[in-house]
Structure 1
Amino acid sequence: MAVAAVCLALTGPSTPSGALVSEPLPLPVGAAQDIVPNRVMTWNICNPCGSAQNLGRAADIATYAPQVIGLQEACVRDVEEIRAYLKTFYGLTYHVEYGSVLRNWGRCGGLPWRAGGYGQAILSAAPLADPVTVEYPDGGSEDRGYLAVTTTVGDRPVRVFNTHLAQRQQESFRERQVAVFAKAVARHEHTIVLGDFNAVPDAPELAPMWSLAKDASPECHPAPGAACETTTDWHSKFDYIFLRGFAPRDHGVHPSEYSDHHSFRADLEPVQGR
């Protein structure tokens, strides 16, 4: 990996956007050395925030190197660039599936008749199978939906979901979206749900999710006074890792200068007997 970095410093890497980047951003002390088994992450990477953020986003992901990552507000072009940086600079190779629900020049650039795909993405160190993208019947002010795949976490096959619900002031839309989403999640006993739900834990529209699963932050629940760590720059918890058939061993919320959301990661273990 070090030799590759030296070569790239001399020639510049080839990225999907065509930008030349001479060297990676350094990782902090204590950063992961390789993919961490049983670690998952959810992160709304912010859009439109510009592709210039992608090198920093890759460094933030490499710092924790989760086995599975769910990204929201993800442009296909941005994710391809992030994956290239992760592999080239940090030696981390991820498979990917996209759950684009919108093609929009303003969101993701490209020619007006070839606008970039925008929505969800799931990255996994293990191969991905049986991808399903569902667009909610009514996304509110912008198309929204979810992506589901089957992959491996630790050594267990698992169905992973990634969603982004309607914007903050659109509770009625989120209520209808959760009704659709919860039915899909409930079909799977071993399930990891990642996403930006745009709602605080005690929001009524999240009740169907809490009835199915627990958040990877054990102290966070919808009861008044619960200790839920905030995941956004405006000090709200909007980002969740809901678990069925898994329990958290450790978790963390990590602010980033490259997004208005913090990444939320959890180290998991299977629930015995399930």
Structure 2
Amino acid sequence: MKKAMLFVAGFVALLWVSLSPSYETYAVQGSSQLEETTVKVATYNVAAGRGTDGAYNLERIATAIENTGADIIGLQEVDVHWGDRSNNDNMVALLAERLDMDYYFAPIYDFDPAGEGEPRRQFGVAVLSKYPITNAANREIARLSTQDPDPVPKPAPGFLEAQINVNGAEVAFYVTHLDYRADPIVREMQVADMEEIMAAHTYSILVGDMNARPDAPELQPLFQKYADAWNWSIEEDGYTYPAASPDRRIDYVFASPRIEVHSATKMSSQAADHLPVIAEVSLIEGSHSYNLEGTEWLVDHFIEHGDIQGTETSTLLHNHLRALNYYKEQEKNEKLVKHLQGMTVLLDYEKEKGNISNKAWEELSSDIGYFTEKWNQ
């Protein structure tokens, strides 16, 4: 009975805000002219520059990256002055210079120099981008060190977070390299840590070598929360390892459901022991959801993390979204705009009551303003 009363109350409130003449529509400055940019994002485990022949050849890696056509690419197993196996090169700086891309490096291991006056020895993950990296950080997740003779799982760096501005769309780009051991316990901890970090950003892409196949239980939280780009591939499998004769899929591109994925592919190459995975996505200036499903995901995300509180508030927002999806299917733009305006009133009202955080209000209002302009033309 309580649920039924709440449902009725929700629709009464929904009707009131939709018909209220006293709303002020949230406006997105110039939203009718917002730029939508299609980019290629990729992941590539470069095996410290060593190909399937075992030889170090950084130019071969650079050519492979070039051939992916990637605008933004996450790299794993990157050496920076690590040792003889990679010529003591700063691999990421050399690749960035060769490819004319911005970069950020996040070491997993950071050791003292081999000799006095020499640079520090580092190994980790990196991002290369044709678009400006506006901010970046090396975040900690659980790790079981390969350099410690008696390791225990503990927080350690090597989870890369970069804010990248793609023609006015600010996307959080994450690069990871998960534990390789057969026992999944460390990967399970790592996924939980990554989810906690990524929760701060709702317009995000995660790439990396997960060292686990798609059916691995420890990866399921990622599949449940984010869009696996390979679902948009026309290829039969996404096998990426070993490069000479791939028989498993362990390299992934995940995107927030707010971001439109168009396609995904892998590229044959012997430059490293993994194959690169490439996805084509669209990013909207202002970091807006590309469809109502993205906004619904955003609402659920804020509910999960306490930015939207109260069962009644959640019900009212979901009722609005159901109505919007219905009228979108019916192609009734006038009704769509009216309900979007009603949702703006609801967001303002619930924010005033303290049921919606400033962050949730800003992002949801921005989405609603974008769709209002889009369907009011």
TM-score (norm 2): 0.55
Does residue 116 (structure 1) correspond to residue 135 (structure 2)? The answer is no
Q: Partner of 2:61: helix, strand, or coil?
A: helix
Q: What corresponds to 1:202 in structure 2?
A: 215
Q: What corresponds to 2:143 in structure 1?
A: 138
User: Are 2:106 and 2:157, in contact at CA under 8 Å, matched by a contact in 1?
Assistant: no
Q: 1:121 to 1:51 in 2, by over 3 A?
A: farther
Q: What corresponds to 1:235 in structure 2?
A: 247
State the number of aligned residues. 225
Query: Match for 2:103 among 96, 109, 112?
Result: 96
- In 1, Cα distance between the equivalents of 2:183 and 2:268? 25
Residues 149-194 of structure 1 show CA distances to partners (whole Å, capped at 9, x for unaligned) of 1003465210010010111424111111111001112322110001
More helix by share: 2
- In 2, Cα distance between the equivalents of 1:154 and 1:238? 31
- In 2, Cα distance between the equivalents of 1:166 and 1:79? 22
Does residue 80 (structure 1) correspond to residue 84 (structure 2)? The answer is no
Q: CA deviation at 1:140?
A: 4.7
Q: Partner of 1:102: helix, strand, or coil?
A: strand
Consecutive unaligned residues of structure 1, counting only runs of 5 or more, are 1-35, 87-92, 221-225
Q: Partner of 1:230: helix, strand, or coil?
A: coil
Q: How big is the alpha-carbon RMSD for the aligned residues of Structure 1 and Structure 2?
A: 2.7
Mapping of residues 26-175 of structure 1, within 5 Å: 37-47=38-48, 49=50, 52-76=56-80, 77-86=90-99, 93-103=100-110, 111=115, 114-141=119-146, 145-153=158-166, 155-175=168-188
- In 1, Cα distance between the equivalents of 2:141 and 2:198? 14
Greater relative contact order, per chain length (Cα 8 Å cut-off, separation 6+): 2
Q: 1:255 to 1:139 in 2, by over 3 A?
A: farther
Identity within the alignment, %: 25
User: Are 2:78 and 2:92, in contact at CA under 8 Å, matched by a contact in 1?
Assistant: yes
User: Are 1:44 and 1:259, in contact at CA under 8 Å, matched by a contact in 2?
Assistant: yes
- In 1, Cα distance between the equivalents of 2:166 and 2:136? 16
Q: CA deviation at 1:239?
A: 0.6
Which residue type is aligned with residue 45 of structure 1? V
Q: 1:64 to 1:138 in 2, by over 3 A?
A: closer
Rg comparison, structure with higher value: 2
Most deviating of 262-271 and 131-140: 131-140
User: Are 2:240 and 2:275, in contact at CA under 8 Å, matched by a contact in 1?
Assistant: yes
Q: What corresponds to 1:179 in structure 2?
A: 192
Consecutive unaligned residues of structure 2, counting only runs of 5 or more, are 1-36, 81-89, 148-155, 284-289, 295-377
Q: CA deviation at 1:247?
A: 2.5
- In 2, Cα distance between the equivalents of 1:180 and 1:153? 27
- In 2, Cα distance between the equivalents of 1:202 and 1:60? 29
Q: 1:187 to 1:213 in 2, by over 3 A?
A: same
Q: Partner of 1:218: helix, strand, or coil?
A: helix
Q: Partner of 1:137: helix, strand, or coil?
A: strand
